[in-house]
């Protein structure tokens, strides 16, 4: 057992439900006790979903505990049949995993009488939400394609014009809807059409046409890679797993498209496409991010420190943007995607001083408190950590609140995405002069210096009243740093009480 | 006049949406200031809590998960040692006066002997450990609080009536006084009342003291609350103590205090809405042999202040999908306010504990000449939505899973969970419940779109 207050990624069944309910006319039945259908609330609330979430529970209660589910699951499945879904996904939860009932047997029995297809989601409590989503998506696709192949309804001829599938856009994903619109536009403008987007809004009956696309696009590392690997192995379809987030990543992404399109274009029509001009134009005129990096505003950001935490895709991309495109120092970059740690390390290598891979938010909090950056880019949890220690935070990754499902157009991907990200970053740092001038003159308010600290290993050192008031004369963004330096200096020189003299001595020492 | 309809009860499949009963930690840890709630369960439990509690999570709550890992489930690890490790950590970090273990489905399935382990660890740690089995296998939403209060009933100190003979005289004297004069004199004697009144149910302290005051006005002072603001202020229970519930979902606590602590239960309607509050006071007074002092005038006076709300809701129809067991009381209040109730869904109906409330509902329907609503236990949400399509109620009181979809289909909704957290008890808070109920209806009058359906589904079922 471990003591836990908060988790970044949910349990496995949430991932399965997210994928299943993103497809159209797919119904999920959870084998779960009363109250575990919490997913319906999340989807209905955070995404302001207009339709009933196609998820119900086959309730596990005291009787099930005593006698087993018996006919209950099968009855639940055949009742859902009345609504004529194309597919019913039986979803195990933590509880049912421990019960170890033979759910596969129920599925087989139910599918004899059911008009819908019935499958058992191949997930268990060892994986988290994201891994489960990845696996369930692959499972549904494989199920339908294998059957189409058996029934020889599979159309394997590639489309005449270049086309791509976008895989991994789904419900409750961070800005997924907006990213999807931007992603459709990105290849679209250069003559590559979108064959299908899955799972969001996808119909199962069209899945058999997925192999007609020339290649697959996997915008987020967390979900879709297994499906892409399946297509590559079984159908020889290449895929792009570069996330087009930030100017250079987007350019890489388009170059990759160019490469993949040209393989076929050359074979079919003996012509090559060249996207260099497109990239140049977009970078110069559509995206303002490149110009912003050169502007005076961005100069003020140079050398400021930031800490980044989030899922592997967003944390890695934002780290790259901050360091390479804006000249901001990233002291620490981290992710909670432990299963993808190796790749994450590789991505952010050389871009930051420190890499942190953890699922424990108190560790992240302590790291932030220790570093005291000028801004944090993280999840809602980091936003709250920032609030407590008075450091601004931009939210760049799930888990998020309802406020991160904006109605307005806010993609993170593509060229419009670069503009949005620039705004998020720039607005998160305190504006240079606004912050600097009032503090230089002692501030407009008499707010006390925040003594709250998340760092646990801090020894208490006395401060004389004069020394106590000293930090308020230091500009806010540097205040924490100076205070800490003084304490470290005091510790090193075995000084038990910090006076003003000690403060200045510490400053002298650190500036030499 | 028609013969009074007797309430009919139906029971459906139990396929409905509600919160997991472990959600009770949300208000219990806030109510009992020096407690720490430890939910022993899996990631699923933790995830539902962190989403249900939203912002509270960030405020350093006095609750946490003891998250079961592979080794716990396959019994490679010793439950007692694991819990000891965690409780020691909690003790050193927070130093609570009591740790409440909230058992979950997982602890039930792996048959963890929490009740057996707790006394051992309690001795070792020197902190009381209360075990509440608030799991989704047996309970729904607010019943979680019931399991916790019932467990705490055992921890209440024993009640010793002081000097019985003398008080006996006092009581007889007081009753005589009461019959004779009905003056302030029983202010004095009231304090000496040998019989003590303990109320159970967790309420915000302001609401609790309002009810205290209401009761004191009738010279029946409340001697304690279960749960109390602090763990060591738990009220004394025992023979001669009268207990009375203030919420409809506390049947287990009622049973425990009667059977195990020999208390006498006052079966009253619940003090929700001015009519409920009045009936509640009347009942307590009658048990204590006191003539109630003016709740009738109080009720009509309060009712007058509600006239603006009543104008809006009068004649409108409402449908309760059912998820928090407050349904009967709120339906009764709404019928009294002139609404028509089509259906009252309710997770669990204890007909003995809620008897007085059901009777009041029946009388209210008669008096207001409204049909008796059908009461559906363990409802089936899917069938309910079908019924709602036919009935087209003006308002659906429902969980958040259905609220937005119903709104998109042109049915106004109110989230039921708000009634759990709003202050709806007593005369003082009489405006809060109609405020909640009328909010969607008030919004309707100046609605920007008159589309009957904003649903995206083309074929509506």
Read off the pLDDT of residues A330-345 as tens digits, 9 standing for 90 and up: 999 999 999 999 999 9
**Can you give the C-alpha Rg of chain B in angstroms?**
23
**CB contact, 8 Å: A402 with chain B?**
no
CB contact under 8 A, B64 and A4: yes
Q: Where are the alpha helices (DSSP H) in A81-221?
A: 94-99, 103-113, 129-150, 176-188
Q: How far apart are CA B15 and CA B382, in angstroms?
A: 8
Q: Kindly list the catalytic residues of A.
A: 297
Indicate the helix (H) or strand (E) that contains B319. Answer: strand B317-320
Q: Which pLDDT band, with edges at 50, 70 and 90, does A400 fall under?
A: confident
- Closest by Cβ to B109, choosing from A45, A83, A99: A99
pLDDT in tens, chain B (461 residues): 444 567 788 999 888 999 999 999 988 988 999 999 999 999 899 898 888 776 666 667 788 999 988 888 888 889 999 999 999 999 998 899 999 999 999 999 989 999 999 999 999 999 999 999 999 999 999 999 999 999 999 999 999 876 444 444 454 555 444 444 444 444 444 444 567 999 999 999 889 999 999 888 888 899 999 999 999 999 999 998 999 999 999 999 999 999 999 999 999 999 999 999 999 999 999 999 888 888 888 899 999 999 999 999 999 999 999 999 999 999 999 999 999 999 999 999 999 999 999 999 999 999 999 999 999 999 999 999 999 999 999 999 998 899 999 999 989 999 999 999 888 999 988 888 899 999 888 876 655 555 556 666 654 44
Q: How far apart are CA A297 and CA A432, in angstroms?
A: 8
**Can you give the C-alpha Rg of chain A in angstroms?**
27
ipTM of the complex: 0.86
* Cβ-count burial A209-221 (b if 16+ within 10 Å, e if not): bbbbbbbbbbbbb
Q: How far apart are CA B196 and CA B211, in angstroms?
A: 15
Q: How far apart are CA B129 and CA B139, in angstroms?
A: 21
Residues 138-177 of A with CB under 8 A from B: none
Q: Tell me, what's the pLDDT at B183? A: 43
Residues 380-399 of A with CB under 8 A from B: 381, 384, 387
CB contact under 8 A, A6 and B57: yes
Read off the pLDDT of residues A440-460 as tens digits, 9 standing for 90 and up: 666 555 455 544 445 444 455
CB contact under 8 A, B105 and A59: no
DSSP letters spanning A192-223: PEEEEEEETT--GGGGGGGGGSSEEE---SSS
CA distance B59 to chain A (A): 9
**CB contact, 8 Å: A496 with chain B?**
no
Which residue from A306, A215, A296 is spatially nearest to A263, judged by alpha carbons?
A: A215
Q: Which pLDDT band, with edges at 50, 70 and 90, does A264 fall under?
A: confident
Q: How big is the A-B interface in CB pairs under 8 Å? A: 161
**CB contact, 8 Å: B80 with chain A?**
no
For B324, which residue in chain A has the nearest alpha carbon? A35
**CB contact, 8 Å: A100 with chain B?**
no
Read off the pLDDT of residues A488-497 as tens digits, 9 standing for 90 and up: 888 888 877 7
Q: Tell me, what's the pLDDT at A274? A: 81
Q: Which pLDDT band, with edges at 50, 70 and 90, does A46 fall under?
A: confident
Q: Which pLDDT band, with edges at 50, 70 and 90, does A363 fall under?
A: very high
CB A237 within 8 A of CB A231: yes
CA distance A452 to chain B (A): 13
CB contact under 8 A, A1 and B77: yes
Q: Tell me, what's the pLDDT at A433? A: 56
Which of A3, A4, A34 is best to mutate for the B interface (most B CBs within 10 A)?
A34
Residues 358-397 of B with CB under 8 A from A: 382, 385
**CB contact, 8 Å: B323 with chain A?**
no
Read off the pLDDT of residues A60-114 as tens digits, 9 standing for 90 and up: 988 888 888 878 888 888 888 888 899 999 999 988 888 888 999 999 999 998 8
Per-residue tokens: B169 = 């005289």
Q: Tell me, what's the pLDDT at A27? A: 95
Long-range contacts of A108-111 (CB under 8 A, 24+ apart): A109/A74, A110/A73, A110/A74, A110/A77, A110/A78
**How large is the average pLDDT for residues A271-285?**
83
Per-residue tokens: A354 = 């420190």
For A63, which residue in chain B has the nearest alpha carbon? B137
CA distance B402 to chain A (A): 7
Which residue from B398, B30, B39 is spatially nearest to B208, judged by alpha carbons?
A: B30
Q: Tell me, what's the pLDDT at B182? A: 46
**CB contact, 8 Å: A93 with chain B?**
yes
**How large is the average pLDDT for residues A192-197?**
93
**CB contact, 8 Å: A57 with chain B?**
yes
Mean pLDDT of chain A: 87
Report angle CA B455, B460, B461 to the nearest 5 degrees.
Answer: 135
CB A154 within 8 A of CB A184: no
High-pLDDT (> 90) share of chain A, %: 52
């Amino acid at each position: 057992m471990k003591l836990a207050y908060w988790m970044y990624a949910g349990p496995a069944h949430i991932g399965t439900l997210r994928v299943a309910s993103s497809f159209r006319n797919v119904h999920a039945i959870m084998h779960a006790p009363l109250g575990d259908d919490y997913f319906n609330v999340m989807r209905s609330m955070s995404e302001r979903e207009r339709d009933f979430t196609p998820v119900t529970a086959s309730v596990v209660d005291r009787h099930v505990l005593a006698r087993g589910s018996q006919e209950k699951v099968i009855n639940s499945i055949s009742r859902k049949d009345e609504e004529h879904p194309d597919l019913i996904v039986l979803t195990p939860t933590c509880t049912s995993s421990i019960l170890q009932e033979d759910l596969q047997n129920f599925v087989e029995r139910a599918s004899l009488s059911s008009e819908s297809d019935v499958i058992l989601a191949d997930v268990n409590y060892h994986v988290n939400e994201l891994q489960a989503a990845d696996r369930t998506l692959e499972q549904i696709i494989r199920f339908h394609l294998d059957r189409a192949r058996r029934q020889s309804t599979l159309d394997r001829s590639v489309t005449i014009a270049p086309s791509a599938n976008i895989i991994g856009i789904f419900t409750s994903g961070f800005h997924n809807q907006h990213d999807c619109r931007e992603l459709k536009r990105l290849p679209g403008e250069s003559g590559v059409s979108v064959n299908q987007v899955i799972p969001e809004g996808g119909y199962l009956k069209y899945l058999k046409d997925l192999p007609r696309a020339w290649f697959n696009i996997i915008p987020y590392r967390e979900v879709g890679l297994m499906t892409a690997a399946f297509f590559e192995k079984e159908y020889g379809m290449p895929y792009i797993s570069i996330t087009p987030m930030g100017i250079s990543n987007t350019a890489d992404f388009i170059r990759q498209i160019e490469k993949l399109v040209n393989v076929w274009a050359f074979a079919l029509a003996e012509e090559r496409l060249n996207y260099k001009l497109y990239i140049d134009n977009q970078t110069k005129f559509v995206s303002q991010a490149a110009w912003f990096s050169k502007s005076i505003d961005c100069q003020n950001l140079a050398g400021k420190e930031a800490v980044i935490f989030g899922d592997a895709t967003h944390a890695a991309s934002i780290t790259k943007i901050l360091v390479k495109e804006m000249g901001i120092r990233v002291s620490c970059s981290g992710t909670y995607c432990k299963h993808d740690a190796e790749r994450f390390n590789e991505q952010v290598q050389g871009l930051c001083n420190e890499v942190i891979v953890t699922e424990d938010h108190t560790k992240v909090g302590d790291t932030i408190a220790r570093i005291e950056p000028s801004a944090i880019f993280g999840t809602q949890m980091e936003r709250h950590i920032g609030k407590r220690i008075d450091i601004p935070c931009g939210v760049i990754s799930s888990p998020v609140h309802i406020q991160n499902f904006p109605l307005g157009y806010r993609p993170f991907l593509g060229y419009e995405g670069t503009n949005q990200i620039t705004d998020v970053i720039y607005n998160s740092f305190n504006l240079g002069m606004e912050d600097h001038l009032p503090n230089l003159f002692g501030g407009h308010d008499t707010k006390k210096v925040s003594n709250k600290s998340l760092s646990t290993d801090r020894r208490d050192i006395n401060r004389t009243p004069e020394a106590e008031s000293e930090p308020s004369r230091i500009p806010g963004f540097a205040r924490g740093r100076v205070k800490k330096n003084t304490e470290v200096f005091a510790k090193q020189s075995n000084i038990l009480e910090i006076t003003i003299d000690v403060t200045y001595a510490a400053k002298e020492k650190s500036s030499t | 006049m028609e013969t009074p309809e007797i309430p009919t009860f139906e029971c459906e499949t139990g396929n409905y949406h509600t919160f997991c009963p472990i959600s009770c930690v949300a208000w219990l840890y806030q109510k009992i200031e020096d407690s720490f709630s430890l939910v022993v369960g899996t990631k699923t439990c933790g995830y539902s809590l962190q989403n249900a509690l939203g912002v509270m999570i960030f405020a350093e709550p006095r609750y946490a998960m003891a998250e079961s890992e592979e080794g716990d489930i396959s019994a490679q690890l010793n439950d007692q040692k694991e819990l000891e490790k965690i409780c020691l950590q909690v003790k050193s970090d927070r130093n609570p006066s009591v740790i409440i273990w909230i058992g979950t489905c997982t602890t039930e399935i792996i048959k963890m002997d929490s009740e057996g382990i707790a006394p051992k660890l309690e001795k070792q740690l020197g902190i009381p450990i209360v075990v509440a089995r608030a799991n989704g296998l047996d309970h729904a939403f607010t019943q979680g609080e019931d399991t916790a209060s019932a467990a705490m009933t055992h921890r209440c100190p024993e009640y010793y009536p002081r000097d019985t003979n003398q008080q006996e005289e006092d009581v007889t004297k007081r009753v005589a006084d009461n019959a004779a004069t009905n003056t302030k004199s029983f202010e004095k004697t009231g304090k000496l009342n040998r019989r003590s009144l303990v109320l159970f149910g967790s309420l915000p302290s302001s609401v609790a003291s309002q009810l205290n005051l209401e009761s004191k006005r009738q010279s029946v002072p409340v001697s304690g609350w279960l749960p109390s603001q602090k763990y060591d202020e738990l009220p004394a229970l025992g023979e001669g103590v009268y207990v009375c519930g203030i919420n409809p979902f506390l049947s287990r606590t009622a049973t425990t205090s009667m059977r195990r602590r020999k208390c006498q239960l006052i079966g009253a309607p619940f003090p929700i809405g001015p009519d409920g509050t009045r009936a509640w006071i009347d009942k307590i007074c009658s048990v204590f042999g006191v003539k109630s002092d003016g709740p009738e005038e109080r009720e009509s006076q309060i009712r007058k202040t509600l006239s603006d709300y009543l104008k809006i809701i009068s004649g409108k129809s409402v449908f309760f999908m059912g998820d928090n067991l407050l349904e009967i009381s709120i339906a009764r209040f709404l019928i009294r306010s002139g609404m028509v109730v089509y259906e009252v869904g309710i997770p669990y109906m204890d007909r003995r504990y809620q008897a007085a409330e059901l009777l009041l509902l029946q009388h209210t329907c008669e008096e207001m000449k409204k049909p008796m609503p059908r009461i559906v236990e363990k409802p089936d949400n899917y069938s309910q939505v079908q019924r709602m399509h036919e009935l087209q109620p003006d308002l659906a009181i429902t969980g958040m899973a259905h609220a937005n979809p119903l709104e998109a289909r042109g049915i106004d909704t109110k989230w039921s969970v708000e009634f759990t957290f709003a202050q709806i008890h007593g005369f003082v808070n009489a405006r809060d419940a109609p405020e909640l109920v009328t909010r969607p209806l008030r919004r309707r009058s100046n609605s920007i779109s008159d589309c009957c359906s904003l649903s995206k589904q083309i074929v509506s079922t």
